[in-house]
Amino acid sequence: MSSRKFTQLLTVATMTVALGACSAGSGDSPAVQPSSTSPRPSSASSPTTTAPVADPAAQEALPQLARQQGAQTSALAPAVGQDSPDLAVLASTTDDISTSISFWAWDGSAFQPAGSVTADEPLLPRRSPEWHYLTGGLYPDAVVYLQGGSMSGGVDAVIARHETDGSWRFVPLEGQSGDGIAVEDDVYAHNPVFDEGFTFVTRVQGGGPVAVTYWRYEEGAGRSWFTRSPAPDPEATRTP
């Protein structure tokens, strides 16, 4: 990620004015709604490419699928080369307690079911799901926003990753909530901010300054999760 991108992310994460963007009475903030369907570049010198576009037939079919499934929110991710099909994520809350999240793959003529997961928090229906490249998989990762968080009208999010066996799972945040919560259950990112890079932040406010934590995906020793990442240094890549 360029120093400019990290500086923008740090600015959004630390400005208390931006906290209102996550309140129940406000709309989505443009600062935290970047393009979420562009694939991750292979290197800093990668040439600029045209953003992928979903099959128009899939775009037309998504609203009908959402109605059929009773979804309250949905989002479409265009296929990226041969790596993934056009993908849809649908989410809904029927009991005010949990959120059902389902995934669908476009086969060229219709959406086919491709897995589902359940979050133990109610959906935040005013925020549409997003697709981001965070874990380095062939498929993008789905971000679904939930009611929760620690700030005024706070927001939680779960991040679902497509596994090699075809299933989807929530990626935990290692050590986010401290002792007393199993790592595999610590999947609710508190008041997160995403941009088009691989690192994202969560924010917590306990009556004082906002505490910002950076997260980045890691794998090893049979485990895969988001771990704490050092804050970016804007000076590190600044041109003399």
List CB contacts of 147: < 8 A, sequence separation 6 or more: 121, 122, 123, 124, 155, 156
Band (pLDDT 50/70/90 cuts) for residue 105 is very high
Report whether pLDDT(213) > 80.
yes
Q: Give the pLDDT confidence score for residue 72 in this predicted structure.
A: 97
pLDDT at position 219 is: 93
pLDDT digits (tens, 9 = 90+) for 63-78: 999 999 999 999 999 9
pLDDT of residue 46 exceeding 70, the answer is no
Q: Report the sign of the C-alpha dihedral through residues 90, 157, 172, 134, in that order.
A: positive
Regarding predicted confidence, which is higher, 228 or 148? Answer: 228
User: What is the helix (H) or strand (E) element at residue 59, kind and residue range?
Assistant: helix 56-69
Greater confidence (37 vs 193) lies with 193
Check whether 192 has a pLDDT greater than 80: yes
Rounded CA-CA distance 42/71 in Å is 35
CA angle 190, 221, 38 (to 5 degrees): 50
pLDDT at 235: 67
Beta carbons within 10 angstroms of residue 223's beta carbon: 12
Helix (H, G, I), strand (E, B) or coil at 145: strand
Tell me, what's the pLDDT at 29?
36
* Dihedral sign (CA 60, 63, 68, 71): positive
Higher-confidence residue of 90 and 183: namely: 90
Residue 100: CB atoms within 10 A of its CB come to: 19
Neighbours of 227 (CB within 10 A): 16
> Which pLDDT score, from 0 to 100, does residue 43 have?
39
Q: What is the pLDDT of residue 51?
A: 80
The answer to which of 6-10, 153-157, 236-240 has the lowest mean pLDDT is: 6-10
Per-residue DSSP letter, 54: -
Highest mean pLDDT among 1-5, 13-17, 209-213: 209-213
pLDDT average, residue stretch 227-235:
83
What's phi and psi for 63, nearest 5 deg?
-60, -40
- Which residues 6+ apart lie within 8 Å of 1 measured at CB? 9, 195, 197, 198, 199, 232
Q: Quick check: 238 pLDDT over 90?
A: no
Output the pLDDT for position 7.
Answer: 44
Backbone region of residue 107 per phi and psi (left: phi > 0; alpha: psi in -120 to 50; beta: other values)? alpha
> Average pLDDT in the 24-30 region?
38
CA atoms within 13 A on the CB side of 116: 12
